[in-house]
Chain A
Amino acid sequence: MEKFDAIVVGAGPSGNAAAYTLAKAGLSVIQIERGEYPGSKNVQGAILYSDALEKIIPEFRDEAPLERHIIEQRMWVLDDDSYIGTSYRSDAFNKAPYNRYTILRAQFDKWFSEKVSKAGALVICETTVTDLIMDGNRVVGVQTDRENGALFADIVILADGVNSLLAKKAGFHPELNPGDVALAVKEILFLPQETLESRFNVKEGEGVVIEMMGKITQGMMGTGFLYTNNESLTIGVGCMLSDFKEKRVSPYLLLEQMKAHPAIAPMIAGGEMKEYTAHLIPEGGLKAMPQIYGDGWMIVGDSGMFVNAVHREGSNLAMTTGRLAAETVIGLKQAGKEMTKPNLSVYRAKLDDSFVMKDLSKYKDMPGVFHANPQFFTTYPELVNKAAHTMLTVDGVDKKTKEREIVRSFTSSRSLAGLVGDAYKMWRALR
């Protein structure tokens, strides 16, 4: 039986980053993907942050299928028939090398996987890994759904995504808690390129992202988004699964109602829907993170809760964890060391030293604060919209009276102590 240096389960950003880095260093790598081709099972918003990929494939911009580079970010806080927002747009974002792009994951992941193959890894598609093969406490290989489908390696890197059934079956971590994952649904809507560009006030290659919160999530903790691709828009909404469960909202109804919002409908008008997707996002943060390595195994990407929900970052954490896991393995190989739990603690040290753990530590209290304080997603969006409406309606009432009316609307909905407490909670969680 042939034995590999490493088995990588899954061909998303984290698995591809790991497999590519390992193969490039000359290790024997086999990567298993259950989809028809890499990308066919993968879903994301999707924004690609250049930095994480640049550290793996510096020349990616010349080859990767990228949609638009982002020159403008809008943040909207919505009430039923209005929104108040901010935007930042800069021509500095038009100077190469660009900082981030919209991508279509099915195409992007396929490209990334071709790079993995060219680097020398053996990529096997249409194959589902059903179990880890254990020798005592040590992972020694994987069982696949192919005939004679057992594979063996010194290290198994689990890049099997948010559901991570393998780690669960092996008892490495418990079932996900509905409070630690968001359910997002989205659609891709095709528009003629010229229509899209005039509608969003951009030139060829330039893109806009709009992040939204407020009434569109119908009282649930979550956000909506609208991204410009080359000839299409991606529109979606995601909320915590625990809130969906409690409020019994149908996700597709939520999305359809968001699309009908008077500020959103004109932007997507005429868009031809060509795909509808749903995906879970692990947003529990550092406090919900499982054990990420053990004898003969490591976890990378979504399966390890590596998502920064506050900043809507995930694929960059995925690629970075994949790369650092691979570098850990390469280091141990070169030193002639075994893939034991104590030796693999280097992975954790590398993560601690990177933006991954630093950012996750910074925001470790955010999920808890938002769960306990739904007013950030309900009361406040309504109040700030009403305040704007009061101030911007010219009706013969003097401005001082309008100010008093606004202050009264805030204190009557949240009380002064509530307002101060909310500000303090936010400051504590964000500092």
Chain B
Amino acid sequence: MNVNVEEKLFQNRYKVDHGRPHISIINAEICAVECKTQQCTSICPANCYKAEGNGNVTLITDGCLECGTCRIICTDFRNVDWEYPRGGYGILFKFG
């Protein structure tokens, strides 16, 4: 089965804080070289983390659901810097 999560996220309401992502990868080198599993690229429910062909992991937080999964599963390297968005920004649930 093929699922396009972007279509799901399209139904959500967001106020994106352009240029100020609330989550960042601390050291991209660790993801590319040391992390063999790159689990964040499968488990993030908004598919914010993508495994690139060259071994890098890229992160785009625009569709983030602010669940915290990526921060908690990165147990081996603690390589995710995770803050809440600035007040008023990020996901805005209509129904919750």
Tell yes or no: B43 within 8 A of A by CB: yes
Instruction: Identify which of A146, A175, A241, A273 contacts B87 (C-beta below 8 A).
Output: A146
Given the known inter-chain contacts A277-B96, A280-B72, please indicate yes or no for A248 contacting B86, CB distance below 8 A: no
Contact B94 A275 (CB under 8 A): yes
Contact A256 B9 (CB under 8 A): no
Instruction: Identify which of B43, B83, B85, B87 contacts A144 (C-beta below 8 A).
Output: B87
Write the nearest CB–CB distance from B59 to chain A, whole angstroms.
16
- Cβ contacts A255-288/B at 8 Å (1 or 0 each): 0110010000000000001111111100000000
Chain A interface bracket (under 10, 10 to 19, 20 to 34, 35 or more): 35 or more
Instruction: Identify which of B68, B71, B84, B92 contacts A40 (C-beta below 8 A).
Output: B92
- Cβ contacts B34-49/A at 8 Å (1 or 0 each): 0001010011011100
Tell yes or no: A105 within 8 A of B by CB: yes
Tell yes or no: B88 within 8 A of A by CB: yes
Tell yes or no: B60 within 8 A of A by CB: no
Contact B65 A252 (CB under 8 A): no
Write the nearest CB–CB distance from B71 to chain A, whole angstroms.
8
Contact B95 A275 (CB under 8 A): yes
Q: A218–B12 Cα gap in the complex (Å)? A: 27
Contact B72 A41 (CB under 8 A): no
* List of A residues within 8 angstroms of B45 by Cβ: 183, 185, 250-252, 278
Tell yes or no: A176 within 8 A of B by CB: yes
- Nearest A residue to B63 by beta-carbon distance? A276
Q: A107–B15 Cα gap in the complex (Å)? A: 19
Residues in B5-21 with C-beta less than 8 Å from chain A: 5, 8-9, 11-12, 15
Given the known inter-chain contacts A41-B91, A260-B1, please indicate yes or no for A251 contacting B96, CB distance below 8 A: no
Instruction: Identify which of A125, A146, A163, A276 contacts B12 (C-beta below 8 A).
Output: A276
Instruction: Identify which of A46, A187, A232, A278 contacts B67 (C-beta below 8 A).
Output: A278
Total chain B interface residues with beta-carbon distance under 8 A: 39
Contact B11 A43 (CB under 8 A): no
Write the nearest CB–CB distance from B80 to chain A, whole angstroms.
11
Contact A128 B93 (CB under 8 A): no
Contact A128 B85 (CB under 8 A): yes
Contact A40 B85 (CB under 8 A): no
* List of A residues within 8 angstroms of B84 by Cβ: 34, 128, 163, 165
Query: Interface on A for B, CB 8 Å cutoff?
Result: 34-36, 39-44, 46, 104-107, 109, 125-128, 130, 144-146, 162-163, 165, 175-178, 181, 183, 185, 187-188, 232, 241, 244-245, 248-253, 256-257, 260, 273-280
18 residue pairs A–B, Cβ–Cβ below 8 Å = A34-B84, A36-B88, A39-B96, A41-B66, A105-B96, A106-B94, A128-B85, A144-B87, A183-B69, A185-B45, A241-B72, A248-B42, A250-B43, A273-B11, A275-B12, A277-B12, A277-B93, A280-B69
